Structure 1
Amino acid sequence: MSSLGRPLRKLGFLTIGLFDEHDPRTGHEATLRIIELGEELGFDSVWLRQRHLQFGISSPLTVLAAASQRTKRIDFGTAVIPLGTENPLRLAEDLATVDLLSGGRLNPGVSVGVPLHYEDYKEHLYPDSWAQEDFSYQRVERLLHNLRGEAVSRFAGQETAVEAFSDRVQPHSPGLAARVWYGAGSLRSAEWAGQHNLNLLISSVTSADESASFDEAQLSQVERFRSLHSAGHQARVSQGLVVIPTDSASVEQAKRYREYAASRFERTLSPQGPRRMLFAPDLVGSSEEIVEKLAENRAFGEVEEVAFALPFSFGQADYEQILSDIAGALAPKLGWRPADG
């Protein structure tokens, strides 16, 4: 068994924000209530996934704008916004707006690549340019350019008595560009994030670049990222494993949680599909049992921040129990203390 390594400094959780197709408002309201609960429990951050053409949050920034008016302290993250479906200039405007509304609490997490099922809806996304769209890291560089407040227009100044124009994206939120995270699922993406001094998000899914062991593959990514980052060993990395403590769970809940993890376990035994993807096992059990399992995860021993992922298909009562046990029982055993004391 390896050491737990660094004490846990930042505790976060991640949700997809599922909703019923025929009653989407209820699902979105439930996500907002979960965010409020996270703040009450002392979590440092909440992270929203983005899903297009699915029954999960498609507009995380809109939800976080609403959450900014219901909370005071908890940080907001996106994990992640796939930039293949975004215009970096328009996205920069939205990111800065939410950051300002929240008082500087936004942590934009992004990724690049061809959007999922792009061939099925590309004519609706980019009707005139779908064949020419660039889905490379250059899209992140454009976003960073905009967030830093660098010029995007050749015109600035007064045009009429009431209309003034800026040559940079407005509003501008100082410091936001330094809080951009890159969601890495490969050694190459971790290297790129390090070279460009971004923060690094790693999850329960990665690729088998140098090893068929999930733990070894992810540890290599963290080490390579920090070796290339100007902050070195202090460069920020957040890990997003699926962690389900059962300390206060009912017998029925605990049984259902274990069945859920068991149904997903076989995929963790070897690389999956043509991209050789690796999956981490879901961690289910008492806080003491989960601490023991995390001690065996060498990548976890290298991080001080987490965004533990809530399972997609559980109910509101389940999420409340899981978050309460993470904050009240599990995280203190990992060295974490709530932000309010």
Structure 2
Amino acid sequence: MTKIGFLSFGHWADVPGSRTPTASDMLHQAIDLAVGAEEVGVDGAFFRVHHFAQQQASPFPLLSAIASRTSTLELGTGVIDMRYENPLYMAENAAMTDLIAGNERLQLGISRGSPETVIRGFRNFGYTPAEGQDDAAMAREHTAEFLRAIEGEGFARNAQNPAQLDPIQPQSPGLRRRIWWGAGSEATARWTAQQGMNLMSSTLLFEEKGIPFDQLQAQQIEIFRDEWKAAGHDWTPRVSVSRSIIPVIDRESNYYFGLRAQAEGQDQVGYLDNSIARFGRSYIGSPEKIAEEIAQDAAVQEADTVLITVPNQLGVDFNLRSLESIVKDIKPAMGN
């Protein structure tokens, strides 16, 4: 059975209608939503990571807090921007969070990152691409070092025995197989497979073939799996896709999304980072209608994990009612 998780962008703003006016409200509600989601049968809680924005940033304190109040829920990110990361410090944080969670629950999505509200913000964190290197290459370099660190490779010379290289501590065995790369193209999907990471297919794709987003994404998944076999890895990877799914089930959901149900049933194509990008459609309407449409979504049927984006500023109760409906009425249509 396909797993489902929620994906929160973690917005907060003191504006009319927002139920997360402060960062504190957003964080505490994220914990409460995760606890409630586990109770209604959701499989995972995933969080976007953005810097210099009124959204969730450093994820490990939040994931650790959720881990301490849940027992089966997978905990993840979608995605950590590796341009900003100190790979060894991140490896320590990831291992500690994984050990707190236990039961192989941590599922870390990482990537080059997404468009930002600032200009090259990673430079303010102290990271500058080397001469001849762009920021994407720097992100992959940070990733390689992070992966070696969680695999237990030694980096620092031991004070008593300088010939010995010591790894970061603690180590969390098995974490290496629970790292996902957020891929927005077929080429990146191939690279992800070659590196032995799970595929977190992006909410947009930098390819335009004149076919619907779900079919384009299904092709990306097939390319990833073919490349995985060619690479000869000895374990089976996971693949996730993200979808905006809003069942209209009561007066409140109809008030906020009823009209959008008629207007947002198509993909969107536009320019992002000077490239053509195709964005997937939203699924809004009655649970029965959404289930019929999801059953025809080629990528959802191919993936083993579906991440449901949630409007976190509408609060915990709204999102739990929505997630409970998705688990009961829509998840059975998501494949095996």
**TM-score when scaled to structure 1?**
0.84
Q: Pick from 150, 153, 162 the counterpart of residue 156 of structure 2.
A: 153
Q: Once the 2 structures are TM-superposed, how far is the Cα of residue 211 of structure 1 from its aligned partner?
A: 4.5
Structure 2 unaligned runs (5+)?
A: 15-20
Question: Given residue 67 of structure 1, which amino acid in structure 2 is its aligned partner?
Answer: I
For residues 74 and 156 of structure 1, do their structure 2 counterparts lie closer, same or farther at Cα, with a shift above 3 Å needed?
A: farther
Question: Given residue 294 of structure 1, which amino acid in structure 2 is its aligned partner?
Answer: I
Q: Once the 2 structures are TM-superposed, how far is the Cα of residue 196 of structure 1 from its aligned partner?
A: 1.6
Q: Once the 2 structures are TM-superposed, how far is the Cα of residue 48 of structure 1 from its aligned partner?
A: 0.9
Measure, in 2, the Cα distance between the counterparts of 1:314 and 1:263: 21
Show the 5 A alignment for 1:218-257: 218-230=217-229, 234-246=236-248, 249-257=249-257
Measure, in 2, the Cα distance between the counterparts of 1:57 and 1:326: 24
Measure, in 1, the Cα distance between the counterparts of 2:144 and 2:299: 27
Measure, in 2, the Cα distance between the counterparts of 1:141 and 1:178: 14
Q: Pick from 4, 7, 22 the counterpart of residue 11 of structure 1.
A: 4
Measure, in 2, the Cα distance between the counterparts of 1:272 and 1:212: 17
Contact 1:203–1:240, Cα closer than 8 Å, also in 2: yes
Match of 1:4 in 2: none
Match of 2:141 in 1: 138
Contact 2:53–2:117, Cα closer than 8 Å, also in 1: no
Measure, in 1, the Cα distance between the counterparts of 2:149 and 2:122: 25
Q: Once the 2 structures are TM-superposed, how far is the Cα of residue 232 of structure 1 from its aligned partner?
A: 9.8
User: What is the DSSP-based 3-state SS (H/G/I as helix, E as strand, rest coil) of the residue aligned with 1:170?
Assistant: coil
Match of 1:162 in 2: none
For residues 130 and 235 of structure 1, do their structure 2 counterparts lie closer, same or farther at Cα, with a shift above 3 Å needed?
A: closer
Query: Runs of at least 4 residues of structure 1 off by over 6 A?
Result: none
Match of 2:204 in 1: 205
Match of 1:119 in 2: 119
Show the 5 A alignment for 1:1-341: 8-20=1-13, 23-103=22-102, 104-112=104-112, 116-117=116-117, 119=119, 121=121, 123-126=123-126, 129=128, 135-136=136-137, 137-155=140-158, 157=160, 167-211=166-210, 213-230=212-229, 234-246=236-248, 249-260=249-260, 268-273=267-272, 274-311=274-311, 313-334=313-334
Contact 1:80–1:183, Cα closer than 8 Å, also in 2: yes
Measure, in 2, the Cα distance between the counterparts of 1:117 and 1:207: 20
Contact 1:20–1:27, Cα closer than 8 Å, also in 2: no
User: What is the DSSP-based 3-state SS (H/G/I as helix, E as strand, rest coil) of the residue aligned with 2:318?
Assistant: helix
User: What is the DSSP-based 3-state SS (H/G/I as helix, E as strand, rest coil) of the residue aligned with 1:284?
Assistant: strand
Query: If each structure's strand is expressed as a fraction of its own residues, which one has the higher value?
Result: 2
Question: Given residue 13 of structure 1, which amino acid in structure 2 is its aligned partner?
Answer: F
Question: Given residue 46 of structure 1, which amino acid in structure 2 is its aligned partner?
Answer: A
For residues 212 and 232 of structure 1, do their structure 2 counterparts lie closer, same or farther at Cα, with a shift above 3 Å needed?
A: farther
Sequence identity of aligned pairs in percent? Answer: 29
User: What is the DSSP-based 3-state SS (H/G/I as helix, E as strand, rest coil) of the residue aligned with 1:110?
Assistant: strand
User: What is the DSSP-based 3-state SS (H/G/I as helix, E as strand, rest coil) of the residue aligned with 1:238?
Assistant: strand
> Per-residue displacement from partner, 1:85-140 (whole Å, max 9, x unpaired)?
1111111111001001111311111002587355364552227x466575322222
User: What is the DSSP-based 3-state SS (H/G/I as helix, E as strand, rest coil) of the residue aligned with 1:14?
Assistant: strand
Q: What is the root-mean-square deviation of aligned Cα atoms in Å?
A: 2.8
Measure, in 2, the Cα distance between the counterparts of 1:120 and 1:192: 24
> Per-residue displacement from partner, 1:256-309 (whole Å, max 9, x unpaired)?
22345667667x343434321111111012222112111222111212221111
For residues 332 and 299 of structure 1, do their structure 2 counterparts lie closer, same or farther at Cα, with a shift above 3 Å needed?
A: closer
Contact 2:80–2:111, Cα closer than 8 Å, also in 1: yes
Contact 2:180–2:198, Cα closer than 8 Å, also in 1: yes
Match of 1:339 in 2: none
User: What is the DSSP-based 3-state SS (H/G/I as helix, E as strand, rest coil) of the residue aligned with 2:26?
Assistant: helix
For residues 57 and 113 of structure 1, do their structure 2 counterparts lie closer, same or farther at Cα, with a shift above 3 Å needed?
A: closer
Measure, in 1, the Cα distance between the counterparts of 2:263 and 2:79: 25
Contact 2:264–2:283, Cα closer than 8 Å, also in 1: no
Moved more, 217-226 or 301-310: 301-310
For residues 234 and 122 of structure 1, do their structure 2 counterparts lie closer, same or farther at Cα, with a shift above 3 Å needed?
A: closer
Measure, in 1, the Cα distance between the counterparts of 2:114 and 2:309: 24
Question: Given residue 155 of structure 1, which amino acid in structure 2 is its aligned partner?
Answer: N
* Matched length: 320
Contact 1:186–1:206, Cα closer than 8 Å, also in 2: yes
Contact 1:156–1:166, Cα closer than 8 Å, also in 2: no
**TM-score when scaled to structure 2?**
0.85
User: What is the DSSP-based 3-state SS (H/G/I as helix, E as strand, rest coil) of the residue aligned with 1:328?
Assistant: helix
Contact 1:245–1:330, Cα closer than 8 Å, also in 2: no
Moved more, 229-238 or 72-81: 229-238
Measure, in 2, the Cα distance between the counterparts of 1:333 and 1:213: 19
